[in-house]
Amino acid sequence: MSNKSKHLAGISLAIMGTGFAATIPFQGTIAGEFLQGGFEAGLVGGLADWFAVTALFRHPFGVPIPHTALLPKNRNRMIRALVNTIENDWLSKESIQTKLAQINLTEKLLPILEKELHSDSFKKTMKSLIMQMIESADLEKIAPLIKNQLKGYLTSNEVMKLLQALIHQVLERKYDEKCFDYLLLKTEEWASRRDQREEFGRFAMRAMDHVEADGFLQFALKSFQNIVNEEKLGKILQDIILNVIRGLRRPDSENRQAILDHIRKELLNIQENQALAVEIDRVVSEWDPSGKLLTILKKTQIKALNYIEEGSFIEDHLMPFAARLLENISGDKEKTDAIENKVQEQITLFIEKNHSKIGKLVEENLNKLDDEKLIDMIENNVGKDLQWIRVNGAVCGFFIGIVLTGLKMLF
The per-residue DSSP string of 256-318 comes to: HHHHHHHHHHHHHTGGG-HHHHHHHHHHHHH---HHHHHHHHHHHHHHHHHHHHHSHHIIIII
List phi, psi (to 5°) of 319.
Answer: -65, -50
Residue 4 carries which side chain, given as an amino acid letter?
K
Q: How far is CA 281 from CA 22, 111, 255, 266, 292, in A?
A: 115, 56, 36, 20, 20
For 357-393, write each residue's pLDDT tens digit.
Answer: 777 777 777 777 666 666 666 666 555 566 666 666 6
Nearest Cα residue to 105 out of 319, 318, 348: 348
pLDDT at 183: 93
List phi, psi (to 5°) of 138.
Answer: -85, 90
Measured over the CA atoms of residue 384, residue 390, residue 396 and residue 402, the dihedral's sign is negative
Q: How far is CA 269 from CA 161, 171, 173, 266, in A?
A: 12, 13, 18, 5
Helix spans in 154-253 (H): 156-172, 175-191, 194-209, 215-227, 230-249
Residues 6+ apart with CB under 8 A from 78: 71
Nearest Cα residue to 177 out of 247, 244, 246, 263: 263
Residue 91 CA to residue 88 CA, distance in Å, equals 6
Residues 6+ apart with CB under 8 A from 118: 319
Number of Cβ within 10 Å of residue 301's Cβ equals 15
Query: Which letter, b or e, does each residue of 29-62 get, where b requires 16 or more Cβ atoms within 10 Å of its Cβ?
Result: eeeebbbbbbbbbbbbbbbebbeebbbbbbebee
Residue 198 CA to residue 235 CA, distance in Å, equals 8
Decide: 391 and 8 in contact? Cβ < 8 Å: yes
Residues 6+ apart with CB under 8 A from 334: none
pLDDT at 267: 83
pLDDT at 1: 42
Residue 106 CA to residue 338 CA, distance in Å, equals 10
- Is the full-model pTM beyond 0.85? no
Q: Coil, strand, or helix at residue 174?
A: coil
Nearest Cα residue to 305 out of 119, 136, 147, 146: 136
Q: What is the mean pLDDT of each run of 10 residues along the chain (411 residues)?
A: 60 75 76 75 72 65 64 70 72 76 80 80 86 90 87 81 86 89 92 86 74 60 65 84 91 91 86 81 84 90 88 80 83 83 84 77 72 66 60 70 75 68
Residue 119 is classified by DSSP as: S
For 258-314, write each residue's pLDDT tens digit.
Answer: 999 998 888 888 777 788 888 888 888 888 888 888 999 999 999 998 888 876 788
